[in-house]
Structure 1
Amino acid sequence: MAILEDVPGIKVTIRVGGVNCTEYDDPDAEDEQTSCSTSSKYIESVDDSEFSIHWEVNSDYAWGPKPYLLDADIYIDGHWLMGSVVSVARLSNIDGKCEVSNFGATRLCPETGSWVVRKPKFSAVKIVEDTDQGRIERDHEVVKELANITVKISRVIDGSFNYSPNNQDTADTSFELAEKSLKGKAISHGTTFSTIGSSTQKPEFAKVRIIPEDDGPIAVFLFKYRSKEALKHELIIPRSPSPEPAVPDDFAILTDAEKDRLARDRFEELKIKRELKTEPVIKREFGDTIDLTQDESPHRPAKRVARCIDLTED
């Protein structure tokens, strides 16, 4: 879960299949100018995978003496999705925290008149070659916010709970972008929503406003979603090492050049072995003294033969 040291007690995460996504540090986060404490992470996106957004407030958060609510506004690809509020009274008496899960856009279906949840999912971006300058500029505006999930946490004052917001459109978008509009960014996905939403109860809406002493959010959590290949391209995760070339185990499938090289190598090995066998070997007896100053080894002195001499003879 993403956390901020400056605002302890608040955590946000993205889940796919009920599992927290692995988060990777954004190497450019320190270079970005922000008006409040901001966490910036990368996560991996997979084609057509549905995801949900979860945030948590626990007892480490310092509420202070003044009464207010914490509001989490969720934006996907720059568009507002949904907001939810938490009060100190909602913190559990057991573990001292409150968890809020958002599984999609809660909207009123005009055909049936019932409330439904349209689930978000990662949809692949199609890159096309189009040199029309007008289209490139329009697509570039889309690219600026594309592939981002943003959660803004604000301290707010409770308003009317009878508020009815405008029904936001979550129609599917075709992510076909001109290649030049990306300007080198490795964008692989955008977010679309399920065409058929699951039925839900009518949500309770509240109109709130930020407390007077704050100029905006107190914390922002940004998640940049990319495919695994895009994460490698941006050096967020290491590239896969190139596999070693396979060594063929069948001599027949070798090329003529490979066979010639192997034959030459084997010939050189045999030649060296023959030369070693034909070199003369000089054996010396144990204890022989060798004069290294001589050009040749000295001849071995003749052996003396012991004879018996009779000294009594005349």
Structure 2
Amino acid sequence: MAIIDTLPAVDVSVQLNNSFRCADEYPDPNPYRRERYLGGVERVARNYVESQEGTEFCIHVNVKDEPSIDPWVYNEHGLLFFLYIDGIFMGKRFCQNKDFNRGDWQFTFSSRKQPNEDRSSLVESRFKFQSIVTVDGEPTHGDFRRARDLGIIEVKVKLGKASAMTNRRRRKNLERDFREPAVDSFLIPEEALKGRPIYHGTSFTAPERLPGGPPRYNSLKTATGALLATYTFKYRSKEALKIEEIIPRTPSPEPMPQRRSVRFDELNTVPRFEDLHQYEIERLARERLRQLRDEKLQTPSLKKRTYDDYCDLTQNDEQPVRPYKIIKMRSGHEAIDLTGGY
């Protein structure tokens, strides 16, 4: 929400209908046209907000009953809030002392009300962000003026004073000239934009008829005084906010460091794991698994040998020596028969 330090009792915010909070605000660093304010004290809040295609929105105003506004809000004196969107007047509201409820005065600008074609009743069209469609053709002076204020929501706060009630036999706002709102579309000559990154404008939802009700005979008339404060919101798409450097651009992904080509046939070359490509890691893993499988298949089933297989400590060394057979050769010599056939 936008709050001016020298006017802390008033805050103005843009709210998207698809969210339960105020739109994010970003300070506007650009220069702007100066205006004359009450007492020569400039009271300005200037911010950017992000717009979303096809989203309805509203402008919420809240005034707190604080001593800081006592010089301007008392008796029949109060504050007049004027709303302009894309340079077009959308409505006004008068805040006076008797309208405060539990310490606050609140109002929400969410639509534009105007008479229908035959001026028999009022119709209401809600505000909506719409993508701009540029058309060819020579822009008129009105197109340039419209493009100048395009993408801007502005709330001006002026001093007001309630005067006598007027007695008119009419319905509210039926004295306005009829102007068909642009429903779900926003057309403008491309040349009128002058290359500015503005991709959204404000269109309206389809008109809905409001209950007519009894005619209003009495209408409060207000006198407008000096300009007290201005709240400006430049609405842009997210891409436009990046182009205008209001929000940082999405950083480009950092390039992956080039991996050194590894040759396994080089002598005394042991590559680091970090230098291996993914396909090389997978290949080495497959080779190792194959090697382990082959080793398992080729290994014979061996009996586990113990020390007893080499030295039987239970053997009895005192057993009698096996007898051997002595034979007598023809030469008369004696010999031992090793054939074992005995």
Q: Same fold (TM over 0.5)?
A: yes
Bigger proportion of residues as strand: 2
Partner of 1:251: none
SS in 2 for 1:64: coil
Task: Report deviation, 1:196.
Answer: 2.6
Give the unaligned 5+ runs of structure 1: 248-260, 275-314
1:199 CA drift (Å) = 2.5
Structure 2 contact 133–188 (Cα < 8 Å) conserved: yes
8 Å contact kept, 1:45–1:225: yes
Normalised to the residue count of structure 2, the TM-score between the two structures is 0.64
2:35 aligned with 1:34? yes
1:240-270 CA distance string (max 9 Å, x none): 11134689xxxxxxxxxxxxx97x7112894
Q: CA deviation at 1:117?
A: 2.0
Could you tell me which residue of structure 2 aligns to residue 209 of structure 1? Answer: 223
- Do residues 222 (structure 1) and 232 (structure 2) align? yes
Q: Distance in 2 between matches of 1:112 and 1:210?
A: 28
Partner residue of 1:89 out of 84, 90, 98:
98
Q: State the 1:106 CA deviation.
A: 1.7
Counterpart among 130, 133, 156 of residue 152 in structure 1: 156
Name the SS of the counterpart of 1:46 in structure 2: coil
SS at match of 1:238: coil
Task: State whether residues 116 and 178 of structure 2, in contact with CA within 8 Å, keep that contact through their aligned partners in structure 1.
Answer: no
Identity of aligned residues (%): 28
Q: Which residue of 2 aligns with 1:8?
A: 8
Distance across 1 between alignment mates of 2:95 and 2:118: 32
Deviation at 1:137, TM superposition (A): 5.5
Instruction: In structure 2, list runs of 5 or more residues that go unmatched.
Output: 38-42, 271-342
- 1:32-181 pair list within 5 angstroms: 32-36=33-37, 37-60=43-66, 61-64=68-71, 67=75, 68-92=77-101, 94=102, 96-110=103-117, 113-128=120-135, 130=136, 134-135=138-139, 139-159=143-163, 160=165, 162=167, 164=173, 165-172=175-182, 174-181=185-192
Q: CA deviation at 1:200?
A: 4.8
Pairing of 1:142-291 with structure 2 (within 5 A): 142-159=146-163, 160=165, 162=167, 164=173, 165-172=175-182, 174-197=185-208, 199-200=210-211, 206-211=220-225, 214=226, 217-244=227-254, 265-267=261-263, 270-271=266-267, 273=269
Give the deviation of 1:44 after TM superposition.
0.8
Alignment correspondent of 1:282: none
Q: Could you say which residue in structure 1 is the equivalent of 2:336?
A: none
Aligned counterparts of 1:161 and 1:269: Cα–Cα separation in 2: 101
- Provide the rounded CA distance (Å) in 2 between the counterparts of 1:246 and 1:127: 41
1:161 positional shift: 5.1
Q: CA RMSD in A?
A: 3.1
Cα deviation for residue 198 of structure 1 reads: 5.3
Structure-2 separation of matches of 1:272 and 1:162: 105
Matched residue SS, 1:232: helix
Work out the CA distance in 2 between the residues paired with 1:143 and 1:62: 36
Distance in 1, matches of 2:219 and 2:196, equals: 38
Q: Distance in 2 between matches of 1:162 and 1:145?
A: 37
Task: Give a deviation string over 1:146-183, Cα, whole Å, max 9, x none.
Answer: 11111111111113355654145242175333433322
Secondary structure at 1:230's aligned position in 2? helix
Give the distance between the partners of 2:180 and 2:219, measured in 1 at CA: 18
Q: TM-score, normalised by structure 1?
A: 0.70
Contact 1:115–1:199 under 8 Å retained in 2: yes
